[in-house]
Structure 1
Amino acid sequence: MSRDPGFPSLWQATKVWARIAALSFGGPAGQIAIMHRTLVEERKWLGDNRFLHALNFCMLLPGPEAQQLATYIGWLMHGVRGAVIAGGLFVLPGVVSIMALSWIYAIWGEVGLVSGLFFGLKAAVLAIVLQAVVRVGSRALRNGMMRLVAGLSFLLIFLFDMPFPLIVAGAALIGWAGAKAGLAAFRGAGGHGSGAGAHVHDAETLLGEETDFSAADQRGAIRAGFWAIALWLVPVILLLQLAPGSVFQEIASYFSKLAMLSFGGAYAVLAWVAQEAVGTYGWLRPGEMLDGLGMAETTPGPLIMVLQFVGFMGAFRDAGWALPLAAGTLGGLLATWVTFAPCFAWIFLGAPFMERLRANPALAGALSTVTAAVVGVILNLAVWFAFHVVWSEVEKLERGPLSVELPVLHSIDWTAAALSALALFVVFRLKPGMMTVLGSAAALGVALHLVGLA
């Protein structure tokens, strides 16, 4: 790989990646914006064209796009070692933070003040998810066809409980076929990502537009990809053989499946996770999924780190160990491992062929249509959250192909409804920082508990 004489060393890049990881609050939009500002605008290590093309590639992959973007840029700059450092550091703060909060939740989650804190967080998370629908929709639904795709996606998952992977696959096929047919509605839009303008031209950056990767670079990436697959699957296979039917085998198998099908980022897959973790496996109660998302929102790292909390609580309750916290810790780390090991594999196996995707209109059409479908899925998540935050009882209505969850109207929690309305007003009208919203909501939840209203 050709290098500019002023190219940063691996150690210099590591310090920058550590700083980005420590500041990676606010979900994928905030994390991508932090990376763009640091790497493109401040450091000028790569330009807008390279950054946005890399992001579009990562959005085609299953898994958290912000973490995969860090991994890919790390590989562009310093090969396999750079990718492991960048991607690993991006996850590490969240692993430590969520594990600590999971312990606190498991020990004191039902105790008054802690319950009040999470009561407030749920309302804030609901407002943040709705804001995500608006933000993503404003970028992705740029014409009538994209709005139709989003609407159909919402109806399919909300009314008919259609699996999310089928929705994504269908949207991708529609977008690919539409782009191949030359239809204007399916042309991929540029600017998926931070929304930044072209402040830095690629010619002015250390990592130029046409970086030359040697055959050894490409072979090293592919070899690392197969190692990542092996490290991912070996624990899963061992648990299938040694502990069939255990909660650890269920965690390894389910989250491995999720890792292959989790297109569209954390918000899009959380409705599916909630359905399975609450309804199928019984690892969580409905409100606890919101508590876990509140943890992920308030800590650095990908929002998909909420899966560590899900794995922790599942093993904590179902392992049957004499030391449930130890079981929970193992379950949480196992969920994290099988979630993120494949992310490295996808990047390493795809990176050597990335440049071939630059001008492919069919792939751009598939990407833009999948993004539109994801808007509908996120809207479904927001509705699901609202039902479980504002009402204490939800019932499932099934009539033929219809399968929809609806709130029991008389079970409304007026305090939760008022707090959610306040959070929506603050988020959409006052627009403070995310940490301000979450911190204020948590404090208000504690205060409402102290006066007996929560």
Structure 2
Amino acid sequence: MVQTSERLPAGTAVPTHGVSFSQALAVWARIAALSFGGPAGQIALMHRILVDEKRWIGEKRFLHALNYCMLLPGPEAQQLATYIGWLMHGVRGGLAAGLLFILPGFLAILGLSFVYVLFGGTTLLGGVFLGLKAAVLVIVLQALLRIARRALKGHLQVAIAVAAFLALAVLRLPFPLVILLAGLFGFLAAQLHLPGFATKPAAADPAAGLEDHSLLGDSVPAHARPTVGWSLRMAAILAFLWAAPVVATWLVFGPGNVFTEIGLFFSKMAVVTFGGAYAVLAYVAQEAVGHYGWLRPGEMLDGLALAETTPGPLIMVLQFVGFLGAYRQPGILSPLEAATLGAVLTTWVTFVPCFLFIFLGAPFIERLRGNQSLSAALSAITAAVVGVIANLALWFAIHTLFAEILTWQAGPVALDLPRLASLQPIALCLTAGAAVLVFALRLSVMPLLGLAALAGVLVNSLA
């Protein structure tokens, strides 16, 4: 097993893997500060630091945890950090890793949301968001290609991704149903020994034994074997923490108040956001604009642009939605007070369930790491997520590049079609320029966003 070379203060309690809690805190803080670029970039960052650099966890165990987090609703990168933090130091390790991953983005988006509502109508900020929307569309396309290269290893995985895309874009099936069907297909494919899903003995895996070269090795830590009583207590505590603010807003403000609606809506989102932010934003935008009236058309893209420019999970864009919703329906509070409460409430009900899913589910997933059928099901779900993100990319593209969108429906088939005459040439040129910077010049996310914002300001000033 790899030994840590870092010196510890005298008297520091050190777990068997040799990494103290204070050392882990420093690493999680570093990851949180560098976690730009969406889930693909964040997962790559954690892999580089935790697998390659620190060697806390082995490659196979990292991918197993990632596949489980891809299965869960919510932000997979934040849940992956929580999972590995829990493996290293139990519940306090998971809480530290997960909370640190959220905190910088929460504070940054809260500040930017204030700027947005106070100064968003200015020509300068209008140009900034014009450019950022184009860049965000290209970033989503880049994430789609990255995940596709990792997840689509054979013809069957490609077929699953295509089927998931059609189920969402054409048949409008619910996200959970699409994910459930993909997992069921993967499980059955393993039983039938279909190509890409066939089970094999663990000893036949040439990578077997490589986990021993990580600090965690291949064993399950003692704290990762909780009793039924512990699991029930943890479930009760986290469920209470999740529900308490929603019940409180209902009692204080009433069932029809914006805060109650925010608490209930984003609690529902917390259990259906499979595939992370990219997978669910189209649905959230439709509901927030059409049903609740929290956002105006196009503002979801503004929120995603804010989330792309800050560290942390992209699902933090939901905080922006809650902020605007409460700002525009403040009730007895001032608009900015209401907006702050809406942002905090949205963040709370979005992320408390993430800790619940990890602390309750991860112990069982650890016990099933050698289960080939489960691995096949998770692999199929990962392939389906490619189709889910492709649906989001299409939705963003037509709403970024066209001013008018029509819905064509025939029976169970429903398609959002752009009115070609409403193509916006400026948006198209900015998107094409961003695509060249990303795919030809390999520009990273932050310089891309900066150049796109600058281009948007220049174009907007000349228009």
TM (norm. structure 1) is 0.92
User: 1:189-228 deviations in whole A, cap 9, x for unaligned?
Assistant: 9xxxxxxx98x94323332211431588556566334312
User: 1:256-281 deviations in whole A, cap 9, x for unaligned?
Assistant: 11111111121111122122222222
1:91 and 1:349 map into 2 onto residues whose CA distance is: 20
User: 1:358-387 deviations in whole A, cap 9, x for unaligned?
Assistant: 122222222122222221121111111111
Question: Aligned residue for 2:21?
Answer: 10
Question: Aligned residue for 1:210?
Answer: 219
Question: Aligned residue for 1:81?
Answer: 92
Structure 2 alignment gaps of length 5 or more: 1-12, 201-205
User: 1:220-242 deviations in whole A, cap 9, x for unaligned?
Assistant: 56633431221001222333444
1:305 and 1:6 map into 2 onto residues whose CA distance is: 33
Question: Aligned residue for 1:224?
Answer: 234
2:159 and 2:441 map into 1 onto residues whose CA distance is: 31
Question: Aligned residue for 1:192?
Answer: none
Question: Aligned residue for 2:347?
Answer: 336
Q: Which amino acid aligns with 1:231?
A: L
Question: Aligned residue for 2:107?
Answer: 96
Residue 179 of structure 1 contacts residue 362 of structure 1 at CA under 8 Å; is this kept in 2?
Answer: yes
Map 1:332-371 → 2, pairs under 5 A = 332-371=343-382
Q: What secondary structure sits across from 1:184 in the alignment?
A: coil
Q: Which amino acid aligns with 2:236?
A: F
1:5 and 1:79 map into 2 onto residues whose CA distance is: 13
Say if 2:136 is the partner of 1:119: no
Q: Which amino acid aligns with 1:213?
A: A
2:259 and 2:180 map into 1 onto residues whose CA distance is: 29
1:216 and 1:185 map into 2 onto residues whose CA distance is: 31
Q: What secondary structure sits across from 1:395 in the alignment?
A: strand
Question: Post-superposition shift, 1:146?
Answer: 1.8
Question: Post-superposition shift, 1:3?
Answer: 6.2
2:218 and 2:417 map into 1 onto residues whose CA distance is: 52
1:232 and 1:45 map into 2 onto residues whose CA distance is: 31
Say if 2:46 is the partner of 1:35: yes
Question: Aligned residue for 1:406?
Answer: 417
Q: What secondary structure sits across from 2:271 in the alignment?
A: helix
Map 1:432-451 → 2, pairs under 5 A = 432-451=443-462
Most deviating of 141-150 and 344-353: 141-150
Question: Aligned residue for 1:56?
Answer: 67
* Match among 249, 267, 284 for residue 273 of structure 1: 284
Structure 1 alignment gaps of length 5 or more: 190-196
Q: Which amino acid aligns with 1:207?
A: L
Say if 2:296 is the partner of 1:247: no
Q: Which amino acid aligns with 1:239?
A: T
Question: Post-superposition shift, 1:330?
Answer: 0.7
User: 1:309-337 deviations in whole A, cap 9, x for unaligned?
Assistant: 01111111123345111111111111110
Residue 259 of structure 1 contacts residue 339 of structure 1 at CA under 8 Å; is this kept in 2?
Answer: yes
Residue 187 of structure 1 contacts residue 364 of structure 1 at CA under 8 Å; is this kept in 2?
Answer: no
Q: What secondary structure sits across from 2:298 in the alignment?
A: helix
Residue 163 of structure 1 contacts residue 272 of structure 1 at CA under 8 Å; is this kept in 2?
Answer: no
Most deviating of 317-326 and 413-422: 317-326
Most deviating of 108-117 and 39-48: 39-48
Question: Aligned residue for 2:7?
Answer: none
1:97 and 1:13 map into 2 onto residues whose CA distance is: 24
TM (norm. structure 2) is 0.90
1:134 and 1:63 map into 2 onto residues whose CA distance is: 21
Question: Aligned residue for 1:415?
Answer: 426
Question: Post-superposition shift, 1:181?
Answer: 2.7
Q: Which amino acid aligns with 2:248?
A: L
1:185 and 1:6 map into 2 onto residues whose CA distance is: 34
Q: What secondary structure sits across from 1:177 in the alignment?
A: helix
Residue 427 of structure 1 contacts residue 437 of structure 1 at CA under 8 Å; is this kept in 2?
Answer: yes
